[in-house]
Chains A and B, each alone.
Chain A
């Protein structure tokens, strides 16, 4: 199993550009989520999904969109990038309930 994969590993954007961060898992997990990690602020939940076709907002959803058309994939879209979105983004997946979360390797995003 590849586990949780994320692409790209690193991306530079200009203010106002849009892009999609990809996340895929091959463990048939129902629960997937996106976090951003900034120095001193820990992990903050952006959006999450409890299954295909179901998504919900987390703690810091503004400026981001998600969709979950399949169990495996959970892309995160930045609609119009802003410097405040410079961060490291992690995707995670788990079974429902108190299941162990498996994290991807992260995407480092720099918005100029």
Chain B
């Protein structure tokens, strides 16, 4: 079973690029990597999902090296409103056999 490990906290400043890395050493061939964002008093919200190489959407990029033992969520030019907790999730299997391996979250503080 994969285990996901991510930094507990990170600090940044407005306008900077922020990269949050998650380790998932025992990831299997068909597992997906997903990232969620959570603001205080709200449920987590999907940001991005990928399987390999690079995925980009309107809010973030996800970089996954060839060995897939880690992944990096990249937030370009953060603002104060990006202050949140970011969770890495490995999705193993599908249907009745689906397992979700959550990281403990990285608390990102964006300073002015």
Contacts and interface: CB of A to CB of B under 8 A. Distances in A.
Interface of A: 4, 31, 33, 40-43, 45, 50, 54, 90, 92, 96-98, 100-106
A42 B91 contact: no
Given A42-B104, A43-B87, A98 B94 contact: yes
A59 B18 CA distance: 32
Given A42-B104, A97-B98, A103 B34 contact: no
A98 B46 CA distance: 12
Given A31-B98, A90-B44, A100 B49 contact: yes
Contacts of A105: 41-43
Interface string B55-87: 000000000000000000000000000000001
A103 B43 contact: yes
Contacts, number: 50
B93 to A, nearest CB: 9
A52 B102 CA distance: 25
A52 to B, nearest CB: 14
B95 A90 contact: no
A96 B87 contact: no
B94 A97 contact: yes
A96 B42 CA distance: 24
Contacts of B105: 42
A79 to B, nearest CB: 25
24 contacts: A4-B43, A31-B98, A33-B100, A42-B87, A42-B102, A42-B103, A42-B104, A43-B44, A50-B96, A50-B98, A54-B96, A92-B43, A96-B95, A97-B98, A98-B49, A98-B98, A101-B36, A101-B46, A103-B43, A104-B43, A105-B42, A106-B41, A106-B42, A106-B43
A100 B46 CA distance: 7
A108 to B, nearest CB: 8
A92 B63 CA distance: 26
The residue among A43, A96, A104 with the most chain B CB atoms within 10 A of its own CB is A43
Nearest to A100: B46
